[in-house]
Structure 1
Amino acid sequence: MKGAGSAERSGIASAVFFPYIALMTSESNRLSTPGVDRAVLQGVSVGRAMVADAPISAQALLCLDIFQLQNRNVLWIATDVREMEKLHESIVTLAGGDTPPDPHVHLFQPMEKDPAVFGEHLKLVHHLQQSHGKLNERTDFHDHGFIIITCPQAIEQEVPVAGKTQQAVRTLSVGEDHAPEQLTDWMSEAGYEFGVEVYLQGEAALRGGILDCWPPGTPRPVRIEFFGDTIDSIRYFDDQTQCSIEKTDSIQLPQMDFGFAGEETCSLLELLPDTALIINPELANTAAGAQIGNLKSTIKNLSTGFDFYHTNLMAVSFDTHPKEAELARRRFVDQRCAEAASDWTIHFFFETEGTRTRFEELYHGLDGFQSLKLHQGVIHESAIDHTRRILIVTESDFYAYHTNRSAHARSAKRFHKQQDRVSEVADIQPG
């Protein structure tokens, strides 16, 4: 097949072609929803469904379509932890990026001794419990709807029953009285580690009448200033510079594990509303699988309409000279420019601003380059829809590399610190 479909691909072409949705443009950083085939979504209902094998980027598009266009709460069970992280990262990018993070998208991963992971769990459980009843009403979907990405290892974990999370969260507000010594004693028992400064979630530091802490699940640490026993102000601050950023009226300090619930726990599935659609339920096992098995089956082979796409590009190695690799990439971009200038829609996704800028510098002179759609954000696995002539190319496929760093590690503060140090010392952008 000529055009973008000429590259080698795997997978079976689908009879149902799912719409492309909600891609972020590099110029406006806003969402758009071109060419959505709403008729395909009419068969999607509550219950459970199995998704046909498809690129992770296409699975992310499908998940967003179901959520945004059908107003369906989605629990998506990925094959394993790695695929779960990739799918979540792709959905966050396609939903508009992670600054600020989309409040509707949740990651329920296997519990670790990591405050960030526990914070994600606690926020999700608290959200489901606080929204109980409202999630069954379509009018409140915009505020209370959710997408949960998980995996078989995580879905087996028990969570606190309804109402129990309130015991694990202590809310502090400006103007309230809280003796600093008693508060820090409670925080120590709750699992916070006290030190000189705060750099990671779950850490805290007390200096006179100033308490710095980083509650698990919050994007930044907070600085609580006391006047005697009264909270005078609460501010978010930068963990790198330690400088205050913005004020807030209140902050929640959660405990660091679910031990407070004792034996009063349940499966995450028991907290889901009746309007939820569970994707890939057959991947769950034991008790969770039995619970899902009681749900009405809706679709057994839900298709995305996208096939896997291989760029056939080679990374620099002992067998591939840098000039040879660059010439191949230039020919590839030139071909995509020609197709984009005709009737193909070609999307390139770059993980950093540096790689996107470098791409523009190298290839902006090619005819038809302006027809390409460039985006910044991490998605995984290139995909192609031959019928609607849509191609999605990821940075890792374009440069033919596959990082071993997990999505969770890539978002960790120690990784961002390394990036900041590179920028500071070398005056270059990471990537």
Structure 2
Amino acid sequence: MKVVIVTYYWPPAGGPGVQRWLKFVKYLRNFNIEPVVFTAENASYPITDVSLEKEVPEGIEVLKCPIIEPNGILSKIKKKDTQKSLGFLNPNPTFLDKALLYIRANYFIPDARKFWVRPSVAMLKKYLFENKIDVLITTGPPFSVHLIGLQLKQQLNLKWIADFRDPWTSVDYFHLLPLTKKSLKKHYFLEEKVVKEADGILMVSNEAKKKYEKKAKNITVITNGFDDDGEERLKEVVIDTKFTLTYIGMMNAERNPENLWDVLSELSKEHKEFADDFVLRFVGKVDEVISKKIRASHVKNIEEVGYVPHHKAKEYQQQTQVLLIVVNDYPSAKEMIPGKTFEYLQAQRPIIGIGPEEGSMAEIIRESGSGNVFDYDNKKELKEFILNLYHQYKKEGKIPTLASKINKYHRKNLTEKLADYIRQVAQH
């Protein structure tokens, strides 16, 4: 069996967007499915990580179609030194910021990669005429990738699976866009068209599945996961001697857990020994607004490591005393399970989560016994939890974890589930 996977994010792209299908491609051959990857040529990725290129299996066919990136053109209009926020929106936007965001929101629907759709359809149409393919798979965001699948489905009547790493109109930044009624209507129309016409829909959480299950023909949940090929784990893990709380990834303006910073500041002020022992570590870029707030607090020890290759980030995960994970505070936050959640489980370190206590991420963290998740305004219980962890640290030097039931999230096991689903769609 042979499948074509259409993905914008592919090595040397870094960050979370590339991980899901890079790992699926890595293991699909184990289940007698040959993947062909279709991706963008000369894409403008916000983060690159060339170390991920070694994970692409030898001999995998990778097709590349040139892409025009309007985001690159728009960014040249602004001076680089005016960019202060790492978030989707600048918290203190200028008139130019607002104008560019309005243009982006209303003239590039569903997103700024829309101009990649037509050449991709033409190139893939030729490839599909010349090669026997059982199933086409598109993965988004960017959601324009699904329009490639939609057009090929309509023109060639092939079997098509649409993979939603985030639901289209409930992705974390959607409610922040200055959309006109006409633009909003177009988003909902295109989303529904994709969901109804695809032969299969993949979602990453049970909460997210609820959004589409009444409209989709065939919908299933396959979460993200963790991988362990022997090279990514430390031979001997040495836990930090300090009481470290480590966040891996981009801490942007929309992912700002102010309640947590207040708790850490209070604990540092109230307990001198805590203040001396505690280290707040960021592995990845931190928004300037967040950085300034924390540095103005009573937290004494702050490390901003910056972006590191994926294998190095995993080392930090394994070495820290406690891991921090945050879900953006937005209307559909319950649906969200950050991809790093599963690597955090693999690291076997205690996890503090900030997000909906009844959300999908909280369910996984609690079920595995890896930690706890606290609502954005649950200051009292969050403070107690951190203090209890600190007491364990002082007593034993290393905080024990009781993580279990995590093997089902290994990428190979998830790929087996995917392979079964692909065959089911192909035969339906």
Q: Which has the higher contact order (CA 8 A, sep 6+)?
A: 1
**What is the TM-score when the length of structure 1 is the normalising length?**
0.26
- Structure that is richer in strand per residue: 1
- Higher Cα Rg, which structure: 1
**What is the TM-score when the length of structure 2 is the normalising length?**
0.26
